[in-house]
Amino acid sequence: MKHSFLFTLLLAGLNAVAFAQHATTDQNKPRKTITDESIAANQKVLWSRDTVYVLSGFVYVEEGAELTIQAGTVIKAREGTASNASALIISRGAKIYAEGTATQPIIFTTVLDSVALQDTPEAGDNVDYKSDRSKWGGVVILGRAQNNVGANVLVEGLPDDARARYGGTADDDNSGVFRFVSIKYSGTVIESNLSFRALRWLRLVAERPWNTLSRSTPVMMVSSSSAET
């Protein structure tokens, strides 16, 4: 993997106490399944905190579309590997506005996780932060900035799809906002010996991260894949 065009946030631990005491919950909320057909090009979509959203498969926010996620929203993803994996991909020309707060972070996690419980079997949860990982894909944000690979490159680990390509000449490309977000248990295997290892947290490809995220943005990642290729 060519790290010169890959920006991975390593901000685990920032504001961890505030995250630990957060008010975000999945209790007593309806669930809404999100598939690749749920967000069309040029569509504006709002995910609100009163609903738990469940990613089923590769979900693309297509060019011209805008996805806004309210503070305190829980997004879960179905388990799976290879073509059955689930992930959220922000394509070139699309935007995501995920603005959590210290007390109401936005949480991405697996469907196995009960957000209202501690992540241990002893607490009654179906996940264990000490051993579980790689339950789903993660979050990918694709941009149009210059890089050392090309102007129309398929991102590693995703199916061959025009929406999964990155690169260009727009070094001021901006894909939105990503603040106070927790990404848990991501990093599933897509191909043999290949995983969303950059999605252990958040993967930015051909982006200029200071346009998309505040440099002091707290983004907390828990028990994600540590596989290397």
66: in domain = yes
Residue range 41-70, pLDDT digits in tens = 999 999 999 999 999 999 999 999 999 999
Asked if the structure places residue 120 within a domain, the reply is yes
Does residue 19 form part of some domain? yes
Q: Is there a domain that residue 228 lies in?
A: no
- Cβ atoms of 110 and 184 closer than 8 Å: yes
**Average pLDDT estimate for 120-137:** 72
What contacts 122, CB < 8 A, 6 or more positions away?
none
Burial class (CB in 10 A: 0-12, 13-18, 19+), 72: buried
* H or E segment to which residue 109 belongs: strand 106-110
* Residue ranges making up the domain that contains 90: 3-222
Per-residue pLDDT for 164 more than 50? yes
**What pLDDT does residue 131 have?**
65
Measure the CA–CA gap between 57 and 13, rounded to whole angstroms: 29
Within a domain: residue 65?
A: yes
Residue 227 lies in a domain: no
Least-confidence region, from 67-76, 131-140, 161-170 = 131-140
* Domain tally, the chain: 1
Per-residue confidence band for 116, with pLDDT thresholds at 50, 70 and 90? confident
Whether 229 and 3 have beta carbons less than 8 Å apart is answered as no
Does residue 88 lie within any of the structural domains? yes
Query: Count of alpha carbons within 13 Å of 192, Cβ hemisphere only?
Result: 0
**CA 9/CA 203 separation, integer angstroms:** 8
Give the β-pairing of 153-154 and 165-166.
antiparallel
Residue 192, in any domain of the structure:
yes
Taking only the tens place, the pLDDT of each residue in 208-223 is 544 445 433 444 444 3
